[in-house]
Chains A and B, each alone.
Chain A
Amino acid sequence: MQRQTVIGRGVRVVLLTLVGLFFLFPIFWVLLMSFQTNQDILRIPPSLVFTPTLENYGALISGRLESTAGVLEIRFMNNLMNSVILAVSSVALSLLLGIPAAYAFARFKFRLGEDIAFTLLSFRFAPPLLVLLPLALYFQQMGLIDTYIGLIWVYQLITLPLILWIVRGYFEDISEDIEHAYRLDGNGWFKTFTRIAIPLAKPGIAAATLLSFIFAWNNFVFALILASADKQPVTVGALAFVTASGIQYGQIAASIVLSVTPTLLLALYAQRYLVEGLSLGAVKG
């Protein structure tokens, strides 16, 4: 028995290491690349030994990229700011609309309720490119093309269904009697919603917020078509490093590292709530 456990433990360690390597290696490689010059990156065979340089980050932050073909202006910091504005506002709007809607779908049975909920989910089925062409034309007429408002609106296609469906499940898991008890204690339904339902669904709301933030942050195609350079997020902005004089791998790697950092920090921060949610669920009487 003892031998088996030792072997079992060893196998587990090996397997976990393999899985870890598989998922973490690309990130690790990108991190290395971001400290290398283009020459180091393109060297064959690739080497782990190089002189680290902060040139890539410097260029991104100062916005001036000096290459053999001359000085290239890049708006990376501007793009990063756009990403933050777009992701944060569209998630905030989705939370504002989606949480009350999720509560309504979870608690009240009304005509066409299921159909409406499903229609909202079905927005995620449509291929974005199919929607985008007509949308671009309408947006042009309405003057919404190349505006934050227009983009945030379109981003609702990504974030709203996600928040709605995840949070709805959490609301459905809350015992209705807790809300009933609160209402009998002399509170109206709105107070019950804000004081009981939302706090109890917090882990779910945190998970949905995180997920929809990542989806919004990573979106590429909506902003590519509906926004021009000064409204574009990092995902689209990184295209600028594919220049006439070559592909700036070093800057691309550095920009990836910089643009992944906010989501990563958010995920680490939200993890606390996610874990708390899971453990609360496990001991729920």
Chain B
Amino acid sequence: MATLTLDSVSKVYKAARGRPVTAVDAVDMRIADGEIIGLLGSSGCGKTSTLRMIAGFEDVTSGHIEVGGRVIDNLLPAERNIAMAFEGYALYPPLRVRDNIGFALLRDRQPRAEVKRQVEEIAELLEIVPALDRYPPTISAGQQQRTSLARALIRKADVFLLDEPMSQLEPQLRAVLRARLKDWLITRRMTTVFVTHDQTEAIALADRIAVMEEGVLQQFASPDELKERPANLFVASFIGEPPMNLFEARVDRSRSGLGLAVLDAGGARAFELRFDAEVAGLADGAAVHLGMRPHRLRLGDRAGAVQGTVTSHSWLGDQTHVGVEIGGTECIVVAEGEVPARLGAPIAVEVPLRAVHLFDADDGRALFHGSEAAS
């Protein structure tokens, strides 16, 4: 219901002994009104600290946070008009689930009948109607989590912060609620930032995803963009299931087009790739990281395919993950449907240009995305 801007926000924790710890390092984010943002990253990457600074439980060490154009750095949590669902639920134990959810509305002196109607509406959405008249310590963790989510969603706040909102739910329920939650957020134009370490959830819910690592915002982009054009090696390896195949490689420009000599762990030449594409930059002999999306690789013996042997094979019911050894390097190929492949059998892997990503060998920044050159 309002824009949210993080302007070069940092959080430094002063340690009693030793060096201060930078939990969040100059994060810039401009979030539009009604946008849904996922904060994704491994544990301790600074995503929860970021959320807590927005809510006002942590001071901002430097930078500014604005909600709807209003700087909120020095406001008390109560003055920020922000709703939050906590990872640890944080329900009020002496109140029934119903009163927990309606708490903020009742506090604002809204008519009881109206609050009751709204509480029931959201309880139905999140499937906690049977728990409404019980007390938080007597219901399951999943119900507590949904109560906590309901308590946040029912408010008319400017910004909604959801910290791991569905981590305790069973997979089926999570899938159902994810869709309902998204619908609820979109129809009410609720500006939302949610933290998760489940990338399926992030991709399904978010308009844009902020990938964080060691307090630094690595990339802030749409799910497609993150997959097609990862900004650096970290984002490339973090996003995608199964993860991107990564190799050391050397650029070979001795002939026309783009040649890549892929190296094995010992630095010896494992196999070669050659594409008929005009690619600017990329000096001959430059050391790079080569990334190949498993979903973009194909099995099949067409011209230019690389020969390998099958080392693993798992059929997941709708797709097959095939592990292939090519000249001493390992790589995973995802094939649609069931693939009849025996372990140890020879197999050919096609590498289309759009499967290829190149990253700088030193700092990991992206140099080239095959999908850009191919399209």
Instruction: Give the B-binding residues of A (Cβ under 8 A).
Output: 175, 177-178, 180-188, 196, 199-200, 280, 283-285
Contacts and interface: CB of A to CB of B under 8 A. Distances in A.
Nearest to B94: A199
B90 A186 contact: no
A174 B57 CA distance: 16
B131 to A, nearest CB: 13
B104 interface: yes
Contacts of B87: 177
A178 B104 contact: no
Given A188-B76, A285-B137, A181 B151 contact: yes
B34 interface: no
B84 A184 contact: yes
Given A178-B92, A285-B91, 12 more contacts: A175-B88, A178-B90, A180-B55, A181-B151, A182-B92, A183-B78, A184-B55, A184-B82, A184-B83, A196-B92, A280-B137, A285-B136
B309 interface: no
A40 to B, nearest CB: 54
Contacts of B141: 285
B138 interface: yes
B103 A200 contact: no
Contacts of A285: 89, 91, 136-137, 141, 144
Contacts of A182: 92
Contact of A283 (B57, B138, B151): B138
A184 B77 contact: yes
Interface in B102-160: 103-104, 107-108, 136-138, 141, 144, 148, 151, 155
Interface string B68-82: 000000001110101
A185 B83 CA distance: 7
A35 to B, nearest CB: 46
* For the complex of A and B, 10 pairs with smallest distance between CB atoms: A177-B90, A185-B104, A181-B90, A177-B86, A183-B77, A178-B90, A283-B137, A186-B78, A177-B88, A184-B77
Contact of B78 (A175, A188, A200): A188
B93 interface: yes
A284 B77 CA distance: 26
B8 to A, nearest CB: 25
Contacts of B108: 186
A200 B137 CA distance: 13
B93 A200 contact: yes
13 contacts: A177-B86, A178-B92, A180-B84, A180-B86, A181-B86, A181-B92, A183-B56, A184-B55, A185-B103, A185-B107, A200-B93, A280-B93, A280-B137
Contacts of A181: 84, 86, 90-92, 148, 151
B90, B94, B155 — most chain A CB neighbours (10 Å):
B90
Nearest to B140: A285
A185 B77 CA distance: 8
Contacts of A184: 55-56, 77-78, 80, 82-84
A88 B76 CA distance: 38
Given A180-B86, A200-B93, A285-B144, A186 B137 contact: no
Contacts of B137: 280, 283-285
A91 B80 CA distance: 39
Nearest to A183: B77
B365 to A, nearest CB: 38
A187 B86 contact: no
B93 A180 contact: no
Contacts of B155: 185
A122 B214 CA distance: 43
A180 B87 CA distance: 12
A187 B141 CA distance: 26
